[in-house]
Amino acid sequence: MPLSKREQAQLDRRLVATLTEACETAKAEIVGFAWLTHLVDYTRFPSSLQVIWVFETRAAKEHALASGQGERMIELTALALQEADVELHPLAPHVQFDIEQRG
């Protein structure tokens, strides 16, 4: 059954709160990590959920992923989703890594 507008708003608030915690943790731990965001189409939830971790530069992203920090960000995402009562398995296809700079 589709989520009501009220349920969508409540869920989005929970996601924002828990993902914000994950973001702050990552900023303290991962050099070059800048921010994260999420995208979701609630008519196709939870399969449409995407969590995007954004780095300051391509070099910072490549260094973080090469040093195993991608797994840490997936772990932080899993913890955030668990706290928000969202089940999504497998999780890795719903996590993306991007950069701020272009060109």
Instruction: Report yes or no on 102 lying in a domain.
Output: no
Residue 103 lies in a domain: no
Rg of the chain over all Cα atoms, to the nearest angstrom: 14
Total domains present in the chain: 1
**Size of the chain, expressed as the number of residues it contains:** 103
Q: Which domain holds residue 90?
A: 3-97
Residue 43 has, within 13 A of its CA and on its CB side, a CA count of: 0
Q: What is the DSSP letter of 93?
A: G
- The Cα–Cα gap between 76 and 94 comes to 13
CATH number at residue 10: 3.30.300
65 within domain boundaries: yes
Residue 28 lies in a domain: yes
Q: Report yes or no on 47 lying in a domain.
A: yes
User: In terms of C-beta density within 10 A (0-12 exposed, 13-18 middle, 19 or more buried), how is residue 101 classed?
Assistant: exposed
pTM flag (> 0.85):
yes
Predicted local confidence at residue 3, as pLDDT: 85
Q: What is the pLDDT of residues 14-65, one digit of tens each?
A: 999 999 999 999 999 999 999 999 999 999 999 999 999 999 999 999 999 9
